Amino acid sequence: MLAPQSTQKRELKNVDRDLNRDDMETRRLSAARDLLNGVSQSLVARRYGVSRTTASRWSRSIVVKGVDGMRKRRATGRPSRLTADQVDAIRTMYLDGASAYGFSSDRWTTGRLAEAIEHRFGIRYDQDHVGRLMHKFGLREPKFVYAPVATAFAAPGALVSARV
C-alpha cells in the first residue's frame, strides 16, 4: 500500500513543473476562495496538490494581506541578457543548421550554439545554460521518455524512466 501513496506524492510534486505563473495564480486564488469558505487547510492541500505547509502559508497570507496577497508577483531573478529579437534570431539560426554558421555538420550541440551566440551577439553562455535555453525556446526535446517497462525491480506495467 505504501508504493501507490509515494507515487501519488511524486506526481503531485511534479504538478508545479507543468504550471505556468498564471496557472499557479489561478490555483492560489481558487484555494483562497475555499479557505475563506471554511474548507480545512488539509483538504485544500489535497485538492490543489500542494503540501499542508503551503496551504497553511496561503491561509496566513489571506489573513495578513487579503486575497490580493495571493496574486502573482513580478518574477525575481536576473533578467535575460537576450532580447526578444535575439531569441527569434537564435531560433532562426537553429533552423538554418550549424553548417550555415561554419560548423562541419548541421547538428547543433550546446557547445556549438553557445559559440554561435557569443560570435553573433557577444553574449557568452556556458554550454549547460545553453541547453536550458534550447529547452526554454522549444529547440530541444526532453531527454527522458516515460514508457511502461517491466524490470526485475518494478512491477509489470510500472512506469520507469528510460534515457533516449
77-136 confidence digits (pLDDT tens): 888 899 999 999 999 999 999 999 999 999 999 999 999 999 999 999 999 999 989 988
Phi-psi label, residue 158: left if phi above 0, alpha if psi -120 to 50, beta otherwise: beta
Query: How far, in Å, CA of 35 to CA of 41, rounded?
Result: 7
For residue 112, count other CB atoms closer than 10 A to its CB: 18
Residue 12 β-bridge partners: none
Cα 121 to Cα 5, 8, 115, distances in angstroms: 49, 45, 10
pLDDT exceeds 80 at position 156: no
- Enter the pTM of the model: 0.47
pLDDT exceeds 50 at position 161: yes
Quick one: pLDDT at residue 13?
A: 47
Report the mean per-residue pLDDT for the chain. 81
Quick one: pLDDT at residue 48?
A: 92
pLDDT exceeds 60 at position 154: no
